[in-house]
Amino acid sequence: MTISTPVVKTGQMRHDPGGLLFIALGLALVAAGFVWRGRVLRPLSAKRAQAAMIRERSRNLLRSADVAIAEARRRAARGEPAIVTVKDVTRVACQHYGHLFVEREEAAAALRQRYEATDCRVDCMTDAFN
């Protein structure tokens, strides 16, 4: 035994305006994504890409110097100065930020800059000025 339901034909097809608006908005977002794909992450020229890499490396070295200073202050006993070396900055840059090679001059410059900015003369010693 089959059960059938009668189909009533009205002759006119109606569209839901909310559904059409939802589909149109989705298509607009897909088109915008296609047009602006990766513009923020990838610079258009090689020169801009290289400048972005240099800025990122510089920021990472400054952050490495901050971390090395903080670690040295934690390691120091009460009443004695914290000793921060350029080697500490290089180690943090390699471990935390994945830099394979950091020149001593770069690490020393970053350490000098953070040393002076955080007023480390009061409680720190460093070899970055040699």
The DSSP element (H or E) to which 95 belongs, if any, is: helix 86-97
User: What percentage of the chain exceeds 90 in pLDDT?
Assistant: 50
Give the per-residue pLDDT at 82.
Answer: 93
pLDDT tier at 20 (50, 70, 90 boundaries)?
confident
Determine the Cα–Cα distance for residues 60 and 80; give it in Å rounded to an integer: 28
Q: In the predicted model, is pLDDT for residue 10 greater than 90?
A: no
Element spanning 17, H or E = helix 17-35
Name the least confident of 33-37, 53-57, 91-95. Answer: 33-37
What's the rounded Cα separation, in Å, for the pair 105 and 87?
11
**Beta strand ranges found along the chain (DSSP E):** 82-84, 124-126
pLDDT of res. 117: 92
* Nearest of 46, 61, 43, 48 to residue 98 by alpha carbon: 61
Tell whether the model's pLDDT for residue 94 goes beyond 90: yes
Q: How confident is the model at residue 49 (pLDDT cuts 50, 70, 90)?
A: confident
CA neighbor of 127 nearest in space, from 96, 90, 97: 90
